[in-house]
Structure 1
Amino acid sequence: MDFQLDEDQREFKALLRTFVDKEIVPVAREWEQAGRYPTEIVDGMKEMGLFGITVPEEYGGLDLDPVSFALVFEEIARGWMGVAGILGSHSLACRLIAMHGTDEQKQKYLPGLATGELRSGIGLTEPDAGTDLQGIRTTARLEGDHYVVNGAKMWITNARYASPLPVLVKTDPSASPAHKGMSVLLIESDTEGYEVTKDIPKLGYKGTESCEISLNNVRVPVTQLVGGVEGKGMQQVLSALEWGRVNIAARSVGIAQRAHDEALSYAQQRKAFGQPISDFQAIQLKLGELGTQVQAARLMAYWAADAVRRGRADGETGMAKIFCSEVALNAAIDSMKVHGGYGYSTEFEVERLYRDSILMSIGEGTNDILRTVVAKSLIKGETKVG
């Protein structure tokens, strides 16, 4: 058993860390509070080729292994979790197209998506359907050589930049079970009837937009049906979301690592009763637990990522997402306690970490739902413990 990154991964992580420390950490708090879009950071990620991390090399991408993929989100979330979201949804869309798209769809979109010239997201969630994707109401009715799409999507990351946007629809609303009638269409943002209606205000996860999208009689050519076959949409989406859970687990590790770093630094600088508070046993207990949990979460995230490399890994990625997201929240809370009153101030990083950490237990499937996914995987013998 090898718990170490290989040489290429170590060098890649060092490169990412340098970028984050130079380009993201110094501006994250100020830009987040100002509601400023991180255009310069996005340009830097383009230059590094990070928009192509799930695009095959033949289309100009990096085609990273799952562990290296996790490193990207761990390091960027350590600087600013919202910026990691810009890459997250885009990378899932690229993965979906690369795995399931037709040759024509891959040639049309993947080279531009790899450079960041084109951006994307993933259109799944609706006002009445989040974790329960089979409950979506957006329909696509075939008329000649076009689908006519009607419905609405919400919480769509990158919505104002995404084109094409893979959108989960029901091509056969009467199908039973419902997933057999679901498909994915690649919808370009300039199509008539496609409208980003508003940005959704959020507690955290700032830096990227989360929007509502209206689809009103949007005519989409049949050539935009992912894979060219109806009824495969749910399987296509779930295969991409497996990487999405690795993404969330890794982002959680990044948040937890930053919470640890901030707590450790503050405890060594802050003095009370004539000595650094790091000398007090109560603070040491928190720091010791925090460091232990962060490292455990990191190993869990890498383990799940490696399981994805070896094949289908619903149970492993579910476990990692659950554990890492809860570590992130607890790490943020403990770091805030170490900071005392200053932890509650917007002048310190830790309050932003707290606001961002809460989303990690919700995104890519709530933790309670994922516990049932993990349980089913254990019952079927697909995931082993021990």
Structure 2
Amino acid sequence: MRFELTEDQRSLRADVREFAENEIKPTAKGLDGQGEYPGEILDELGARRLTGLTLPEEYGGRGEGLVELALVVEELSAALMSVASTLGLHLGVATVIERFGSDEQRETFLPEMATFETVGALGLSEANAGSNKLEMETTAERRGDEWVLDGHKQWVTNFLDADYVLTYAKTGSDEDAPHDISAFLVPTEEFEVETVWETLGANSVKSPRVSLSDVRVPADRLVGAEGNGYVQRGRIRTGVNVPARGVGIARAALEDTVSYTKSREQYGQHIGDFQGVRWEVGRMAERVDTARLLTLRAADRADRGRDVTREFSMAKINATQAAVDNANDAIQLHGGVGYTTEHHVERYLRDAKLLTIAGGPNEGHKNTLADAVFEQHGD
């Protein structure tokens, strides 16, 4: 068994790494510190059609798979995690349209989504429907040729610069769960912004709370079959971008730490020459490799149409915790300056913590993983 990328995959990774290192990372501290939207960066990703990476070529995408998505997201996240999250969530919305939408929806939305001229955001979580999305309170009622939506969404990443929100709402009774939730494409101007959250990290792309009150959308903005929105969502695997973001942060923390400890001198030698420091750095490298292998395994199995319930949860738990642990160790090994904004490592820790919550908290994935393991070995 050879754990090697194809030549095309290596070329893609190299191109994105060069862009991330030259165009994103030099601006990352400023964007994060000022809470400034990385619009020019995202526009360039659109021009390169990376915002349509996994969409079919017939709709202007690049026709790549989830392995390629994981590679691209790792590189972007190593420079600025909020850029990677915006791309990943946008592609998730586009993928739902591509997989379950009508021909008219595909033709209308996907070409411009591939180039980021039309931007998608996800409206799923609510104040009382965090881990358990089946408890959402947003409703959609059919009235003639329209659907009327009422409710709210607690965290809509990139809402302020998006054009449409893929909005999940109840269209049936609780007794029909999970076949009681449908998905709709709702223009962002139909929402009211209630709160723009001030968050620990990911400061350059905001995730506000928004609400809908008697919002009417045409019947043809229902995506997929009525009542099957949440079930259909479980069939897409672009969520592999979350552990891939963790890999990127973990790797960036490792690389910054190696660079710093090789140049910083104390007691007449570089601190990277102390055995204790070297062991810690080795452990950081082990976390990166483990996280990447688990993430790419999940992506590869998904590309081949295999069930990845076990593999995805394992990757998500491991990679996101690796990001937190490596960022924490990076701050410690940088010493006092690691606690300042002069270096990137403090931002890595702030951004990494989000990943243990986003995409389903790690505790929920631990339950999913345990269930899958017991089922696999039950006999």
Q: TM-score range with shorter-chain normalisation?
A: over 0.9
- Which residue of structure 1 aligns with residue 188 of structure 2? 189
Q: Secondary structure of the equivalent of 1:190?
A: helix
- Which residue of structure 2 aligns with residue 297 of structure 1? 291
Q: Secondary structure of the equivalent of 1:157?
A: coil
Q: Secondary structure of the equivalent of 1:17?
A: helix
CA distance in 2: counterparts of 1:29 and 1:5, whole angstroms: 31
Deviation at 1:59, TM superposition (A): 0.5
Deviation at 1:184, TM superposition (A): 0.5
Structure 1-normalised TM-score? 0.95
- Which residue of structure 2 aligns with residue 287 of structure 1? 281
CA distance in 1: counterparts of 2:23 and 2:246, whole angstroms: 20
Q: Deviations over 1:108-127 (max 9, x none)?
A: 11111111110001110111
Q: Deviations over 1:325-373 (max 9, x none)?
A: 1111110111111111111111111100010111111110001101111
- Which residue of structure 2 aligns with residue 262 of structure 1? 256
Runs of 4+ in 1 over 6 A off after TM superposition: none
Q: 1:196 is aligned with what amino acid?
A: V
CA distance in 2: counterparts of 1:177 and 1:148, whole angstroms: 20
Q: Secondary structure of the equivalent of 1:210?
A: coil
- Which residue of structure 2 aligns with residue 370 of structure 1? 365
Deviation at 1:73, TM superposition (A): 0.7
Deviation at 1:378, TM superposition (A): 2.9
Q: 1:308 is aligned with what amino acid?
A: A
Deviation at 1:316, TM superposition (A): 0.9
The within-5 A match list for 1:133-148 is 133-148=133-148
Structure 2-normalised TM-score? 0.97
Measured on the aligned residues, the alpha-carbon RMSD in Å equals: 1.4
Contact 1:315–1:378 (Cα < 8 Å) also in 2? yes
Deviation at 1:92, TM superposition (A): 0.4
CA distance in 2: counterparts of 1:61 and 1:377, whole angstroms: 34
- Which residue of structure 2 aligns with residue 207 of structure 1? 204
% identity of equivalent residues: 39
Give the count of matched residue pairs: 377
Unaligned runs of 5+ in 2: none
The answer to whether the aligner puts 1:359 opposite 2:346 as a matched pair is no
- Which residue of structure 2 aligns with residue 319 of structure 1? 314
- Which residue of structure 2 aligns with residue 235 of structure 1? 231
Q: 2:167 is aligned with what amino acid?
A: V
Pick from 216, 220, 223: which aligns with 1:223? 220
Q: Secondary structure of the equivalent of 1:236?
A: helix
1:79 to 1:339, Cα distance in 2 relative to 1, 3 A? same
CA distance in 1: counterparts of 2:64 and 2:84, whole angstroms: 16
CA distance in 2: counterparts of 1:12 and 1:62, whole angstroms: 11
Contact 2:91–2:238 (Cα < 8 Å) also in 1? no
Contact 1:76–1:84 (Cα < 8 Å) also in 2? yes
Q: Deviations over 1:120-175 (max 9, x none)?
A: 01110111111100000000011111111000001111112222211110001x23
Q: Secondary structure of the equivalent of 1:187?
A: strand
Deviation at 1:177, TM superposition (A): 4.1
- Which residue of structure 2 aligns with residue 329 of structure 1? 324
